Amino acid sequence: MRLTKHAHACVTFTDGDRTLLIDPGTFTPDAAELIAAADAVLITHEHFDHFDDAALAAELDRRPGLRVFGTAAVVDKLGERDGRVVAVTAGDRIEPAGFGVTVHGERHALIHDDIPRPDNVGYLVEGRVFHPGDSYVAPAAPVETLLLPTSGPWTRLGDAADFVRAVRPGRAIQIHELMLSELGQNSYRMLLGENGLAGLPLENLPWGESTEI
């Protein structure tokens, strides 16, 4: 299975001719093209940087075979579309595009008490790779590769370190890094990396590059 990192929190999984896309949002410049190339799409929560609802709606209109999974708020925005848009919650097991996926977590991380916390789910793909969305809640399952959010109004270095320690993955790849400069991303690598708080190398995968997982 191959993981390709795209802008912000968006990633693609490919295995043979099957393609699974997670969190194509408006911060991902090529979101529409990525959605057009995907067999199925997973959305962790309704925030625009993870969920380009206009691009998804257009592709659902164009392509009857596309399936989308997300929180109830995602389904509310897109409509059920004869069962092609499906609401998921923690504990669900789904097989989008033939990939085995388990659903974890409940809520978005706290930004401020005055800002509502939407539902947020994380996805564990093929029992190996965990995309947490906007949350540092560890799944109740072993994780080989953790996709680690590092920037945003809800993130904090200490919480990120504790998250990695709680998950105990064999590998960590930085996502949700768009609000960090190159210097900031490298600082996180140092502070959270092998000789830092997490004790595990933190990989920076450039946009459009892939890795085998």
- pLDDT 10s digits, 22-47: 999 999 999 999 999 999 999 999 99
Domain holding 192, by residue range, is 2-212
Domain count, the chain: 1
What's the pTM value of the predicted model, to 2 decimals?
A: 0.97
User: What is the structure's pLDDT at 150?
Assistant: 97
Q: First vs last Cα of the chain: how many Å apart?
A: 6
Q: What was the pLDDT predicted at 69?
A: 98
- The pLDDT of residue 184 is 93
What would the DSSP string read from start to end of 85-121? EEE--TT-EE-GGG--EEEE--BPPPS-TTS---B--
Which ranges of the chain have pLDDT less than 70?
A: none
* Residues 181-213 pLDDT 10s: 999 999 999 999 999 999 999 999 999 999 999
CATH number of the structural domain spanning residue 54: 3.60.15.10
Percent of the chain with pLDDT over 90: 100
